[in-house]
Every structure is written in C-alpha cells, then in structure tokens.
Structure 1
Amino acid sequence: MKNLLLSFALFSVLISCKFYETEPIQVEKPHKDSTIVDIDKDENGCLASAGYTWSKLNQECVKAFTGMQLNPVDNASTEDETLCTYVLFNENADKAEIFLPDDKSFIVTKNGQSKSWIYNDYQLIAHNGYELKKAGVLVFSGDGEIGNKVSGSDNPDGQE
C-alpha cells in the first residue's frame, strides 16, 4: 500500500509539473517611430529641440535664427529671441522666407527692381538694414546682419 501511495504521489507531482519547454517570452522592441529623437521631429523630419524648422523656400530643415534678425518695433531693445522675426534669403535674393515669432512662415518675392519683397499685406524693405511692414505699418526692423543680436553690443554673441 505504501508503494501504491508513493507511486500515486510521484505520478501526481510529475503530472502537475511542466517538463516540456515553453515558448520563450517575446519582448516587444520599441518601434523606430517611438524613439525620443523621432518623437521630437516635426512632420517634415526637422529636429525641433535642436532649433530646426522646415523652410518652404529651401525645402530643407534650417535654423531660422541663423538668418537675419528683425526686432519688434514696439520692443526694439529686446533680447528675447522668441519675439523676433528671422529672414532667410534664397541664393538669388529674389525671394526670402519670413519666420514670425508664432512659428508661422511665408515667402516674400522681390517686387521687380525695387528694394522690397511682398506677400499679401506684408512688405520686406531694404532700408537702413531691413524693415518688415504689415498693411503699411512697421512691425519689425533690423540692421541687416546675419545671426542673433544682443542689444548694446556689436558682437553677435554679446561678448567683449
């Protein structure tokens, strides 16, 4: 009887344990689109955290703030780059892309032989640097030099 009871216990243990190999656990790899770098890209593939934005004029990712900086007329001494407008010209300088502070951009086209570029009610004028007018009202102006400016300094980086 002992042997029968021992055999039954051993048989029960063998049946309750899984001695066959189970399938390995599948670890889901993150999709390429879910990486941190890809999450930070805009719909055109520009890396926003690195300062890139899509240029309609150049058809590539650019750093708009490397263009010509125009400061708001109502706050001309501002050092807040987020309030400024930036201008990037094409190679022929017959077109320019205007990057407004609200992240919108548009392309202005040179008006014949004059020193102005026009788009709807916007007009970019080359006059003692550059001025951007909207509906005839001056809204942004700058010295016409490329790159960021710090007020009170001739050096674009603000260093002596």
Structure 2
Amino acid sequence: MKKIFFFLMFLGTLVSCKLTDQNAEEAVTETNQTVKDSSVVNDKDEHGCLASAGYVWSKINKECIKAFTGIPLNPISNPDSEDESLSAYVLFSEDGNQAEVFLPNDTQSIVLTRSAEGKPWIFQDWQLVPWKGFVLKKGNENKFAGDGMMGKKVTGSDTEQQ
C-alpha cells in the first residue's frame, strides 16, 4: 500500500512538473510573438539622434545635440513671442568662423562661414550679421534677431526696481 501511495505521489509530481514546463514554454512563445507583432517606434535619424527627445545632428560638433540649447533668434515678424518652436538657434564652431543655424520646421541645419572677424557669416543667400546681438537675413530681408545670449529670457522680476 505504501509503495502504491509513493508511486502515485511520484507520478503526480512528475505530471505536474511536465504541465508547468509546458505552460512556461507557451508563455515564452506568446511573449515572443507579441514582441514580434508589436510595432516599435523608431524615430532616430540617419545619425542615430533621437528626434522625439529633441536631438538633432550638429554638422559642426559632429554629434547629436539639442538645437534649442544654442543662441535663440526670435522671428522679426513676432519678436515678443515666447513660443520657442518659432525661433531659430545658432551654434558656433570653437574658432568662431562657422555658425550652424537650426531654422524652425527644418530638419537640416545650415552652416554659414565668415571670412574674417567682424564680418557676417554667409551661406548662399543667408547671412548672420553680428549687430546688437545677431540678425539672420535671407537676401535683403531680416528674418530673425536676438541679443546673443543663450537660454530663455526672463522679462519680469519679482523684486522691485528703485
């Protein structure tokens, strides 16, 4: 009687382990199938920059950067706008002879070059003129301007001026 009882216990344990293994295999198969069926969003550009996180490729720095960390230039048509997505941003090379401009709604930057210190940076019909900060022109039309300071501008103060 004891032998039959132990045999049944052994057989029950063996069968339950087999069922557990099968359930685990089925779960792994289902998980793998779900991963294969899911569409993974890949918003990296050709340089590996993650666009959804605000990164773009810098031709001057040769790396992924956040373009809005450069010097902001506000649109001439709406200079007091606080909408940062309407601004152009400028980054300079270490020697200052190249300026990379990130225009709003453009995926590619433009690189302007200057011939000497104090001269404007130029590329085709674009010019970046150092005047009371910077003015970005296309042809003869002023498009963007800024004071040359990096970062968001604070227009008010919580302390009284006397």
From 121, 125, 147, give the equivalent of 2:125: 121
Q: Considering fraction of residues, name the structure with more helix.
A: 2
Aligned-residue Cα RMSD (Å) equals 2.5
Q: Which residue is equivalent to 2:54?
A: 51
Amino acid at match of 1:140: F
Count of aligned pairs: 130
State yes or no: 1:78 paired with 2:87.
no
State yes or no: 1:41 paired with 2:35.
no
TM-score by length of 2: 0.70
> Matches of residues 59-138 of structure 1 in structure 2 within 5 Å?
59-103=62-106, 104-138=108-142
Unaligned runs of 5+ in 2: 1-21
Amino acid at match of 1:74: S
Partners of 2:118 and 2:130 within 8 A in 1: no
The structural deviation recorded for 1:138 is 0.7
3-state SS of paired residue (1:75):
coil
Unaligned runs of 5+ in 1: 1-21
Amino acid at match of 2:114: K
Q: Which residue is equivalent to 2:146?
A: 142
Which deviates the most, 133-142 or 107-116?
Answer: 107-116
TM-score by length of 1: 0.71
Partners of 1:65 and 1:148 within 8 A in 2: no
Partners of 1:55 and 1:62 within 8 A in 2: yes
The structural deviation recorded for 1:42 is 2.0
Distance (whole Å) between structure 2 residues aligned to residue 86 and residue 43 of structure 1: 21
% identical equivalent positions: 48
